[in-house]
Amino acid sequence: MNRLITIFLAFVLVLGFAACSEPEKLPEKDDIPESVPEVPEQEEVSEPVSEEEPPEIKTLPEIDGEPLSDEEIEFFNDMINPITDGKGNMEQNPWGHFFMSYYDNVREINFPSFIAYFPSDGSKVEEEEFQKLREIEAWGFDNCETLEEMPVPVHSISKKDVDAVLMEYAGITSDDLDTSAVAYLEEYDCYYTSTSDFAWGMFICSGGERIGNTIYLYGESELSFYSDEETTDMLVLIEEEGSYKIVSHQHYKNP
């Protein structure tokens, strides 16, 4: 009963407010324009440019070489994949650094990815060194004014060590690469990274072919494990007097 009374009173108040409100004044006949003025044309607004889509994956080319034997495939898998110390502990295989990105030519390798988990020589970065590091554009921790404020460890990596690996496994040095995205201090002759974990690149070979001294290995790398398409990774090596140098690490769509 109380609810009905409340609704009735609210209805009466609304009617009373409407009655007390001054009615909207209608325009006189002379105030109405004979025609509606034309609306000026608006400049055509172009659609916002969408982010560039990633390039389409190329189709795996037909090599038509001499197929590798099962023994050869096993040999290359043993050579390029993570190794153990004989006690079941994983050790870092330098080959893994080359599997952290794709490239048609090893000189186009993504250097930040290549060096991200490169082993440090164990040298401790000092505060003075860190302050010089902060002056470099490639160093990405502008909000950290002291070494103590860093959220992750800072690693100094000898350029000589990096160049030694690049020369042994690819026949080049870091001077042949675009290293601008990685901090480097000439005074210390070191590159600098900042990682708190550890990872290595992997390539699992499932087949291959040979043409002369060029070896084409087919398989799957860690980068392609989560690909939405049916793809194959191809690692190209050159054999030189019993040793092998990497030429490219490519990602293809299956034919």
Show me where the domains of the chain are located. Answer: 57-81+202-255, 91-197
Q: Is 3 helix (H, G, I), strand (E, B) or coil?
A: helix
Quickly name the fold that domain 57-81+202-255 has: Nuclear Transport Factor 2; Chain: A, (3.10.450)
CA atoms of 67 and 208, how far apart (whole Å): 6
Tell me the per-residue pLDDT of 98-157, one tens digit each, with 9 for 90 and over.
999 999 999 999 999 999 999 887 789 999 999 999 999 999 898 899 999 999 999 999
pLDDT of 11 higher than 80: no
Transcribe 107-159 into DSSP letters. GG--HHHHHTTPPP--PPPPHHHHHHHTTSTT---TT--SGGG-SS--EEEEH
Q: What is the pTM of this model?
A: 0.76
